[in-house]
Structure 1
Amino acid sequence: MRKGFVQCPHCNAPATIRTSEWVNETVKDLYLICLNTDCGHTWKAQLAAVFTLSPSAIPNPQINLPMAPSDYVRRRYPESAREPGNDPGHDPRQIPMFG
């Protein structure tokens, strides 16, 4: 599954966002369609800002988004994925930028 795609909850095929509309400053309704023509499922989902991981350098005083809970642990790649050649986004044909 490529990043940026949503899976259809019925057939697990990629889906695309057809349209969207803001509910408020931190919630957006998304209208999706499954790209599997045999399935054709359409549905509504929501995208919501839940909490802040790093504060904004230009905060909007009208937005009250709490900081992440103190026990929140961000997802990390396993050590094996961080080794050269094991990174799923690594392209060995890419010229190194810093070294």
Structure 2
Amino acid sequence: MSRSVVQRCCVCGHESRIESSKIISDKLKLLYCGCKDPTCGHTWVTNLEFSHTLSPSALKLPEELREKVKTVPPAQQQNLFVSQ
């Protein structure tokens, strides 16, 4: 299920559009927004910022381990990472 994030105007509550953006770093992007209600016309900047990781990327694993994971059934894959 795919969902879109809708940014709303903090003045009138109408939907907004992202007019442009500026990448500050690999974890921070500024979104320049404008209210879609022409009678409001409010414009603002929203920060889109990385917060924290929920599940680490498999790309950070050594190639040898990634290949081994592919050979194990999905139900048993997490057992490869349990300390004994």
TM-score range, shorter chain: 0.5 to 0.7
Aligned to 1:26: 27
Offset of residue 4 of structure 1? 2.3
Higher RCO, 1 or 2 (CA under 8 Å, sep at least 6)? Answer: 2
**Aligned residue-pair number:** 58
Aligned to 1:12: 13
* Gaps in structure 1 of 5+ consecutive residues: 60-99
More helix by share: 2
TM-score by length of 2: 0.64
Q: What is the root-mean-square deviation in Å for CA atoms of aligned residues?
A: 1.4
Runs of 4+ in 1 over 3 A off after TM superposition: none
Identity of aligned residues (%): 36
Aligned-partner Cα distance in 1 for 2:23–2:57: 21
Aligned to 1:51: 52
Question: Of the two, which has the highest radius of gyration?
Answer: 2
Offset of residue 5 of structure 1? 1.5
